[in-house]
Chain A
Amino acid sequence: MMAGMNWPAVRAIYLFEMARFWRTALQSIVAPVVATSLYFVVFGAAIGSRVTAVDGVAYGAFIVPGLMMLSLLTQSIANASFGIYFPRFAGTIYEILSAPVSPVEIVFGYVGAAASKSILIGLIILATAALFVPLHIEHPVMMVVFLLLTAVTFSLFGFVIGLWADGFERLQLIPLLVVTPLTFLGGSFYAIDMLPPFWRTVSLFNPVVYLISGFRWSFFGKGDVSLAVSLGMTLLFLVVCLAAVTWIFKTGYRLKS
């Protein structure tokens, strides 16, 4: 199957999307770095100095994985949803539809580019964080695995949103109303253990908890839930998103009349 793939098309879509990223470097790179620095000033320096260490990890360092995840999720969704929504909005989608390109190649191009961008931003945030707090990553390989899995999964999720949306407002709806609250409540800034028992149970229904927990484990060797559960849940979201994308292409939903 890989041999019959239209790789020049994947490359063309990927480079096209990345070109937009570099063209808008100010928004796409500088903005997340500034936002993260602000979090470190507020939570790390101002509040963090009054918070005791969590599980033996200084609070400033403790929030690094959560902050990276926060950016990774929002950036993946924003990049992928805009990437596919804009051609639909502008009408240039005709070209993708009339090209000898399979759904797999379209997804590789758009989702690959969106994931690349958010991984890049995640790494930039990590580098920014290293300026504020001493960092030590216990399981670098697993960190990369989580980084990749999360970026790809949420880029796929963003791609689905971009296909579903029929206006720029809709494009913002899910990220603002669902993803941001789930991320904040998913333990970006605290360990789930710090919550009262009732809210701890409620948190377990929040998928983002598993992502942040696994990611935090790769940094400090400790998480809210076990590594296997984190990894399992992350893979489950990936499969769900893949299934949604497959269904969309099979039915032509919102792409073809």
Chain B
Amino acid sequence: MPPVISIAKLSKVYGTGHQALSEVDLEIRRGEIFALLGPNGAGKTTLINIVCGIVTASSGRILVDGHDIATDYRAARKAIGLVPQELTTDAFETVWATTSFTRGLFGLKPNPAHIERVLRDLSLWDKRDSRIMTLSGGMKRRVLIAKALSHEPRILFLDEPTAGVDVELRQDMWRLVRGLRDQGVTVILTTHYIEEAEEMADRVGVIAKGRIILVEEKVELMRKLGKKQLILQLQAPLSAVPEALTHHHLELAASGRELTYTYDTQAEGTGIANLLADFAAADIEVGDLSTRQSSLEDIFVDLVRTSA
């Protein structure tokens, strides 16, 4: 199946001379949840804004559902719903009016039943006649999502959707995003919260300094780059790692009651059997064992550091 979005050699230099994107190549698969991870200023928002038509690319080509965003912008933009990062709303409008307005902008006939469904899904139905300026920040965020969904997009961009959002809304949003994916909507979200990507994404792209440094299946990424740790709870505390065990590169923690062994699941051998044998030989009693996988966050920090 052809990709739903294909970006080729995309570069952007702003008027100030700042190079926001350099030769970005990226393909988004139909129906996936794609997380674009990167620190502030990495080029995430610029990338989204170019695809959506808000910023003009300096060079490169973008196809959305086969439509060139420059020459066939109507068809390309029709497919896309955008939830921007900033809470930019028409303060004096009602929730209902602003949501219906967006639908009209995208060339669709009014459909009160659809608008009602969207507002109910986002717990905005009771607020439909409220002016936006009377709403809380979280509610405004919901309004922006409602606007983006009002025109039934096949691709949804969420730019930092959960920045400064409470737990309840975050969970609502994740539920909503999964629901959309089940309906076949492609979702692209940017975030610098790793847990969000870890929780939601099918694939992860990492961007730093305007370059895509990695695109990978989330599971694959975590398997490939993820180190595992074996934590051994000791019966009796140790003051130092015994001589016989130093070649295992153990770390002593929890006032000498815990030893941590780091291993690579992809390596030829994990060394766990040898480790445990050495423990027995050194007569160290182990009370409990647990393993821990490094999070996407650790991987991400590593990647951005090495590419910098």
Contacts and interface: CB of A to CB of B under 8 A. Distances in A.
A52 interface: no
Given A8-B109, A9-B107, A16-B101, A98 B82 contact: yes
B245 interface: no
Contacts of A12: 100-101, 103-105
B104 A9 contact: yes
Contacts of B84: 91, 94
Interface in A199-257: 252, 256-257
B241 interface: no
Contacts, number: 77
Given A98-B80, A99-B105, A92 B74 contact: no
Interface residues of A, number: 27
B108 interface: yes
B62 interface: no
B65 to A, nearest CB: 13
A78 B263 CA distance: 69
A98 B144 CA distance: 14
A95 B105 contact: yes
Contacts of B103: 12
A90 interface: yes
B106 A9 contact: yes
A18 to B, nearest CB: 12
A11 B105 CA distance: 8
B97 A19 contact: yes
A98 B54 contact: yes
Given A12-B105, A90-B91, A92-B90, A6 B74 contact: yes
A97 interface: yes
Contact of A98 (B52, B91, B92): B52
B227 interface: no
B127 interface: no
Nearest to B108: A8
A195 interface: no
B88 A8 contact: no
Nearest to B72: A100
A143 interface: no
Interface residues of B, number: 35
A96 interface: yes
Contacts of A9: 104-107
Interface in B62-93: 73-78, 80, 82, 84, 86, 88-93
A8 B56 contact: no
A58 interface: no
B107 A100 contact: yes
B102 interface: yes
Nearest to B48: A98
Nearest to B51: A98
Nearest to B157: A98
B105 A101 contact: yes
Contacts of B97: 16, 19
B56 A92 contact: no
Given A9-B105, A100-B107, A257 B56 contact: yes
Contacts of B164: none
A136 interface: no
Interface string B102-123: 1111111100000000000000
Contacts of B93: 16, 19
Contacts of B104: 8-9, 11-12, 15
B219 interface: no
A32 to B, nearest CB: 21
Interface in A1-59: 6-9, 11-13, 15-16, 19-20, 23
10 contacts: A6-B107, A9-B105, A19-B97, A90-B91, A97-B54, A98-B77, A98-B82, A99-B77, A100-B77, A257-B15
Interface of A: 6-9, 11-13, 15-16, 19-20, 23, 90-92, 94-102, 252, 256-257
Given A15-B104, A100-B74, 6 more contacts: A91-B86, A91-B88, A98-B52, A98-B82, A256-B56, A257-B15
Interface of B: 14-15, 52-56, 73-78, 80, 82, 84, 86, 88-93, 97, 100-109, 147
